[in-house]
Structure 1
Amino acid sequence: MSLELTLLVWSALLAFAYLAVQSTVYRLDYGVKFANGQRDGERPPNKWAARGEKALRNFLETYGIFIALAVATELSGRSDGLTQMGSQVWFWSRWIYLPAYFIEAPYVRSLIWTISLIGLVLLFVGVAF
């Protein structure tokens, strides 16, 4: 199994981490009873629940691209240094991005996001060309 496919498998744990954080901060904000109900009349979230939702949504925006590129790399047999570097850059920067979303450090979160995007570009270039 290629490194890209291995990281794809481990990215399921990454996705679970984003979901776990989002659902935990949501329940801390709204309460378990409300979270387990229909959520009618939902008020605006506090800043932590909002950040959890935004972090999850942001992760999901790039996750599909990573999945497609990792699978394409595996199926095409085009795994090389560039695709391996790209997949590692995306994977590890997405791990770093999750706590960074909750830390109030200007530009750090955006820098990490940009690095993860560079990882996807490396992966794309490696598999497409």
Structure 2
Amino acid sequence: MTPELSYLFGGGVIMFAIIIIQVAYLPLSKGLAWGLSARDEAVEGNVLDGRIARTLNNHIESMVLFATAVLVAHAAGISTEMTVLGAMLYFWARLIYVPIYLLGLPYLRTISFLAGAIGTVLIYLEIAGAISA
């Protein structure tokens, strides 16, 4: 398995962890009865509910772009120092993004988000370079 695929797997593990956090926290914040119900009626959430949901949504969105880059690079046989660096940057940035977002640290959140996005862009640039070559 290439390092890029390993980091993609790690991104999936991060997503799974966020889902577990959300599943574990919802009954605590909205009540066990609501947590075990069909959830047809909306219940007002608190600040952390919103942060968990936004963290998950943001991670899903970033994973779509990252997974596309990693899988296209893998299918094309592209694995360079730059793609490995990009994948590593994405993974570590997303790993620290979760607690930073949940704690509500705005500037660090933006920096970690941008670091992950830059990591993804590095992979896209390597693919684009291979296409134009």
Q: TM-score, normalization: structure 2? A: 0.90
Provide the identity percentage. Answer: 28
**Unmatched 5+ residue regions in structure 1?**
none
- Give runs of ≥4 in structure 1 deviating > 3 Å: none
Deviation of the 1:33 alpha carbon: 2.2
**Unmatched 5+ residue regions in structure 2?**
none
Deviation of the 1:128 alpha carbon: 2.1
Residue equivalent to 1:46: 46
Structure 1 window deviating more from structure 2 (66-75 vs 99-108): it is 99-108
Alignment of 1:1-129 (within 5 A): 1-129=1-129
Letter in 1 for 2:39: R
Indicate conservation of the 8 Å contact 2:14/2:95, yes or no: yes
Structure 1 window deviating more from structure 2 (7-16 vs 71-80): it is 7-16
Deviations, residues 11-37 of structure 1 (Å, cap 9, x unaligned):
221111111122222221112321221
Deviation of the 1:39 alpha carbon: 1.1
Deviations, residues 25-61 of structure 1 (Å, cap 9, x unaligned):
2221112321221113222211111110010011011
Which has the larger helix fraction? Answer: 2
Structure 1 distance, partners of 2:10, 2:104, is 28
Structure 2 distance, partners of 1:14, 1:53, is 14
SS in 1 for 2:79: coil
